[in-house]
């Protein structure tokens, strides 16, 4: 049976782009698949950026609550917190000893910041080794990735092959499950939605704050009664991925007739978000008010994950002579 592995960083509560582009597809795949699924909160990777323990802890729980609020079945899938699996850091060290320094310098996570090295810590530099350990320690053979993440899986395949060639057949070489249909969700500035750009929409924010985020979406300077091209409008682009086909068609017609202003369009988007995600928001708030339940589910998932991790690590230790 194939094993599928997916991880998401806990650098903050997942925004609308994370949810539509990654979480909803991953949850659907995990719940409907006959394969064994491992889904984890990558809170150790987050330490390369976040140095506040309260923020890190809260982000981890809010990320877990988001997955659960969108229907992830923690019984069908092995759902856990990365930091609860100490075996993964031990494996990351072994892998680091088999991977060239020069190859790590080519990793996107490092190259993107090479012009400002004072902000690069050793954890960020060795980030691909921990990511490789995340995959290899569960014998995962299918890893859903977007095209922009493909390099990390290539590094994982490379280090696993190097180890196997030198120490004997040890690791399963994972394959990428390319997500060509991953939704590209724009932010409030028209660029790809990203926490680093500060252009996100947080569907779990209180109503007033959520509305404020939507109202700051950049639009053209056109009067209410001027015809508008929906394809050029950031508000409409978001509305198009949230609303029903019927409502999208209605708003499209109103845009072209000059029968709607941007203020009203933003109100319509706000209401569609509230309507579409009402049950998810309710479940999220319920879980965040009962964090002990989230903790328990993550701990139960970690117990299952560690059984597999210990077996793989035992195999690796034997190969290197420990």
For position 233, which CATH number holds?
Answer: 1.10.240.10
Domain total of the chain: 2
- What is the span of the domain harbouring residue 272? 204-276
Q: Which residues, other chains included, contact 204 with Cβ-Cβ below 8 Å and sequence gap of 6+?
A: 13, 62, 66, 281, 284, 285
> Does 298 share its domain with 271?
no
Q: What backbone phi and psi angles, to 5 degrees, belong to 24?
A: -60, -45
pLDDT at site 179: 66
Does a structural domain hold residue 144?
A: yes
> In terms of domains, do 26 and 111 share one?
yes
* Same domain membership, residue 74 and residue 168: yes
- Residue pair 66/23 in contact by the 8 Å Cβ criterion: yes
**Taking a C-beta distance cutoff of 8 angstroms, is the pair 158, 179 a contact?**
no
CB 239 within 8 A of CB 227: no
Same domain? 312 vs 244 = no
Q: How many Cα atoms sit within 13 Å of 246 on the Cβ side? A: 0
244, part of any domain: yes
Whether residue 219 lies inside any domain: the answer is: yes
**Main-chain phi, psi angles of 72, to 5 degrees:** -60, 130
Residues 9 and 135 both lie in one domain: yes
Q: Is residue 191 part of a domain?
A: no
Of 89, 76, 77, 75, nearest in space to 42 by CA? 89
30 assigned to some structural domain: yes
**Rounded to two decimals, what is the model's pTM?**
0.90
237 and 175 both lie in a single domain:
no
Q: Are residues 13 and 135 in the same domain?
A: yes
- What pLDDT, on a 0 to 100 scale, did the predictor assign at position 34? 80
- Same domain? For 106 and 213 the reply is no
What's the confidence (pLDDT) of residue 65? 97
197: in domain? no
pLDDT at 181: 53
Identify which of 116, 128, 273 has the alpha carbon closest to the alpha carbon of residue 205: 273
Assigned domain for 51 exists:
yes
Do the strands 142-145 and 175-178 form a parallel or antiparallel pair, or are they unpaired? parallel
What pLDDT sits at residue 12?
Answer: 85
For residue 318, the Cα-to-chain-centroid distance in whole angstroms is 34
Cβ atoms of 48 and 15 closer than 8 Å:
no
- Considering only the C-alpha atoms of the chain, give the largest distance between any 2 of them, rounded to a whole number of Å: 76
What local confidence, expressed as pLDDT, does residue 95 receive? 98
At residue 12, φ and ψ (nearest 5 deg) are 155, 170
Q: Which stretches of the chain score pLDDT less than 70?
A: 1, 112, 114, 148, 179-183
- Quote the pLDDT of residue 180: 57
Statement to judge: residues 27 and 56 lie in one domain = yes
Please check whether residues 114 and 240 belong to one and the same domain.
no
Do residue 219 and residue 250 come from a single domain?
Answer: yes
**Tokens representing 149?**
């993440």
- Domain of 25, CATH number, reads 3.40.50.620
Same domain, 219 and 163: no
Q: How far is CA 245 from CA 115, 228, 249, in A?
A: 45, 19, 6
d(CA 219, CA 99): 48
* 295: in domain: yes
């Amino acid at each position: 049976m194939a094993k599928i592995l997916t991880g998401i960083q806990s650098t903050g509560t997942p925004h609308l782009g994370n949810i539509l582009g990654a979480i909803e597809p991953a949850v659907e795949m995990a719940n409907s698949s006959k394969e064994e699924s491992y889904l984890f909160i990558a809170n150790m990777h987050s330490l390369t950026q976040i140095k506040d323990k309260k923020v890190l802890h809260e982000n981890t729980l809010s990320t877990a609550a988001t997955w659960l609020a969108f229907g992830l079945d923690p019984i069908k899938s092995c759902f856990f917190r990365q930091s609860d699996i100490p075996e993964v850091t031990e494996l990351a060290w072994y892998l680091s000893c088999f991977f060239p320094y020069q190859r790590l310098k080519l990793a996107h996570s490092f190259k993107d910041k090479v012009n400002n090295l004072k902000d690069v810590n050793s954890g960020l530099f060795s980030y691909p080794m921990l990511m490789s350990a995340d995959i290899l320690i569960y014998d995962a053979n299918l890893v859903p990735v977007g095209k922009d993440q493909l390099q990390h899986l290539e590094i994982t395949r490379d280090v696993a092959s190097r180890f196997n060639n030198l120490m004997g057949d040890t690791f399963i070489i994972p394959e990428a499950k390319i997500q060509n249909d991953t939704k590209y969700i724009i932010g409030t500035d028209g660029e790809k939605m990203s926490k680093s750009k500060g252009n996100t929409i947080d569907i779990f924010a209180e109503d007033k704050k959520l509305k404020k985020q939507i109202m700051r979406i950049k639009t053209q300077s056109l009067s209410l009664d001027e015809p508008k091209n929906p394809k050029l409008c950031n508000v409409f682009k978001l509305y198009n991925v949230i609303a029903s086909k019927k409502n999208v068609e209605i708003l499209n017609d109103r845009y072209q007739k000059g029968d709607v202003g941007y203020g009203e369009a933003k109100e319509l988007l706000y209401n569609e978000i509230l309507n579409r995600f009402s049950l998810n928001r309710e479940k999220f708030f319920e879980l965040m008010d009962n964090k002990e339940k989230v903790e328990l589910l993550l701990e139960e998932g970690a117990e299952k994950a560690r059984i597999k991790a210990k077996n793989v690590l035992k195999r690796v230790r034997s190969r290197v002579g420990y």
